[in-house]
Structure 1
């Protein structure tokens, strides 16, 4: 009876030690529900039967060990306790916990399960990190597109306003051209009238010149006649002097004749008086003829000037006629040119209006693209939130080489925050941003967690580009806060350059 009781007690103790339900193990940790979900996601349903199978095998083993020696039973208890603690560590996500190291089938199965779970967790981390990287890179590309589209939108809006002003300006120019064309047409009419007047003036000047020539000829004839009259007056004067001399001789002879010559003396005296009167009259005529000749000479001189002025005026009128003809021809050309300009400006007005409408349509489409990209960015934020929560869950697990892979996601998220800042979606302050010592990668890099990785070829070169990413990022935030968007974008471009090296080196560390 005592042996039976001992056997029963041994069987009960074995069952209590070996039968450790999974639910009981996973309830020991706050992270157990996450781990349980992960176990269900990581392994097919057939794998989950391993624990039930282990329970059954432990029951069978309990029957077999009921007759075992106490030292064997103690060893089994120690093994099962170690397995229980190991499984509990696995349920808490600690895949770095030391294994049991047993050679029995159960220990090997648990070790195999742990390796499988660790591998699945590692693969899932890689997948989630890649998902985060790709989604954030897509969001960064969307932010860049939004920046470019925003700039295009601003420029198209400005161009649309400028095109509308151009249409108004072209319309004003067209109106001015039409007014100029009308003025040119009026000028053409005036030139034609002026040309007609010049022709009339030219004919009148020809008549004036002809009249002046005729008057000059007549004045010259009058001058010649006055000279002839002067010659005749000279002859009369000579005759009067001769007559006076004859009368004087007759008077002398009559005086000699005495009484007999008295009558002849009277006649001679009368002849002498007539001769003297004739001389005076001749002198008066000579003076008048001289004055007439002087006046005629003045008239001849004046008529010569009149002829010269008439000839000069005719030349001026002729030249004016030629110039008016040239002006008329140029006016015709100008009128045609202004009409052509007006027609071209009419066409240009239509073309400018079409250009303005096209630019306005582009501006509307660009604005629609901006809104669409903003919508895409919002949708990406949702997917990134889901991926971020998955990343946070998997980050709570412990397995080899986790931090360098998580750092890739952290790094891209850092870049996305800068990109969101550049488009005004978030506000960042330089003094609130982490430096390269206090971020997750920095804490790992400068802490004890990286001791086993410091001999890796990518470890040393990682420090400088990682520091540059943070330095340029903080400068970008400061410049953006100061209103220097161009400077902030330049710093973000430098972040991109350093980021390429960081991601490359992290990939190398993760291999």
Structure 2
């Protein structure tokens, strides 16, 4: 008896060959009633499972069409409302579809025909007017080809992944050896397929790197030796610059002292020239005074001669007076007593004349002495005049020399000023050179440190000739 003729289906529906259509539908389908018994099993389902409909109709053994052991089908879970068990029984299921009682799932099924199929299962309830589930319809879709294609794709992906893993593992070992500095560890095992080109490129790059390291190893010694020489030369140059700086400072100080001394000398020569000029003028004035003194001494000499002449006259008068007094005394003696008074006068006149004669002699002697002294004074004043003339000449010569010295001192001062400026420029250039030397010194030491670092890095690489040994080649560097 068909479920289509039960449960109050109208007569129009019963008269339609609907059941026949479902029996011949290409979609595998079966129907369970509320008791879980099979009430419909179409031909497509029988063909899929290899289980004919008469073996399952009216029974609950529909599981035999899909599994080797008894277990709930998806329609049973819908009928029981046990959607939560789908996750444990099926390979895949949809929680979204379970909200309206319908369930979707996928699973591998071992069919009675001996085949293993991956089926997409769709089970949904058919409810009556009272809302109770009267039937559950389950449709099946064979996804085995798709699943097998997916499995093949997965297998191919896994194979590719295994190949990639093998390639990555080999490359990883090669790169690990390269990270340790081993440039001899080439990849000898061929990679699968197109990956082998990657291996060849890696080996070629390794060979190129090894050749480069060999070349670097050959030159690193010279670089380090040159850097060491540069650092040493820079240190020597720095010390020489420091010594030059000290020498320039001392020279500048000495030049400053010399310039000050030359300036003082120039000032002194100018003052000396002024003093000598003043002395020359005073000497010329003294020469005029000496000439006047010579003239005055000449006049004194003439006056002395005149005084001598006058004294001679006085001496002659005294002599005559003395003779007259002597004659008067003789005449008074002849006169006797009458001439006694006259004799006394004559005696007094004689004594006076004698004193006058004596005084005239003394004056004459003094005038003679004074004349001699005047002559000596005239001679000395003449000599002094001649000496003053020579002094004036010498002073003029000395003035010319002092002026020449003053000019030379001024020229020397100008030259020393220029030398001072040159020393200042040299000091400025020395400061710039010192800064450049300091920079070069720092750069050379940095280069030396970099060379040592490079040499230390090269020691980590193992080349065809063994590990990189410390180079010993020295390169002469002249600065």
Which TM-score applies when normalising by structure 2?
A: 0.50
The answer as to 2:469 corresponding to 1:413 is yes
User: Is residue 327 from structure 1 mapped to residue 425 from structure 2 by the alignment?
Assistant: no
The CA deviation at 1:183 is: 1.4
Return closer, same or farther for 1:45/1:323 CA change in 2, 3 Å cut-off: farther
Cα 1:39–1:293 change in 2 (3 A) is closer
Contact 1:160 1:363 in 2 (8 A): no
Counterpart for residue 358 of structure 1: 433
Give the 3 Å change call, closer, same or farther, for CA 276–375 of structure 1 in structure 2.
Answer: closer
Q: Which has a greater percent of strand?
A: 2
Deviation at 1:151, TM superposition (A): 1.3
Which residue does the alignment assign to 2:76? none
The Cα of 1:364 is off from its aligned counterpart by 0.6
Q: Match for residue 196 of structure 1?
A: 277
Contact 2:325-2:350 within 8 A present in 1 as well: yes
In the alignment, structure 2 segments of 5+ residues that lack a partner are 1-165, 167-175, 178-183, 197-202
Matched, 1:291 2:372: no
CA contact (8 A) 2:318 2:357 kept: yes
What does residue 223 of structure 2 align with? 142
Tell me, in whole angstroms, the C-alpha distance in 2 between the residues paired with 1:301 and 1:176: 55
- How far did residue 302 of structure 1 move? 4.1
Partners of 1:201 and 1:38 in 2: how far apart?
A: 112
Q: Per-residue displacement from partner, 1:197-250 (whole Å, max 9, x unpaired)? A: 212321232133123302321331133123212321332133124313432453
Where structure 1 has 5 or more consecutive residues not aligned to the other structure, the ranges are: 1-22, 24-32, 50-120, 256-261, 392-405, 420-488, 494-511
- The answer for the alignment partner of 1:154 in structure 2 is 235
The match for 1:315 among 368, 387, 390 is 390
Aligned to 1:223: 304
- What TM-score does the superposition give when structure 1 sets the normalisation length? 0.47
Whether the 8 Å CA contact 1:237–1:282 is kept in 2: the answer is yes
Within-5 A mapping of 1:429-444: none
Larger C-alpha radius of gyration, 1 or 2? 2
What's 1:340 paired with? 415
Q: Secondary structure at the match of 2:447?
A: helix
RCO comparison, higher one (Cα < 8 Å, 6+): 1
CA contact 2:276–2:399 (8 Å) conserved in 1 = yes
- CA distance in 1 between counterparts of 2:277 and 2:213 reads 92
Root-mean-square deviation over aligned CA pairs: 4.3
Number of equivalenced pairs: 291
> Partner residue of 1:279?
354
Asked if the contact 2:287/2:388 (under 8 Å) is kept, the reply is no
Bigger fraction of residues in helix? 1
1:413 alignment partner, SS class:
coil
Q: Mark the CA change 1:130 to 1:42 in structure 2 (over 3 Å): closer, same or farther.
A: farther
Q: CA deviation at 1:141?
A: 0.5
In 2, Cα distance between equivalents of 1:140 and 1:353: 38
Deviation readout 1:346-386 (Å, 9 max, x if unpaired): 13311331133134214313421331343244234324422
Contact 1:244 1:275 in 2 (8 A): yes
**1:326-475 map, 5 Å:** 326-386=401-461, 388=462, 390-391=463-464, 406=465, 413=469, 416=471
Post-superposition offset of 1:135: 3.2
Q: Determine if contact 2:297/2:378 at 8 Å carries over to the other structure.
A: yes
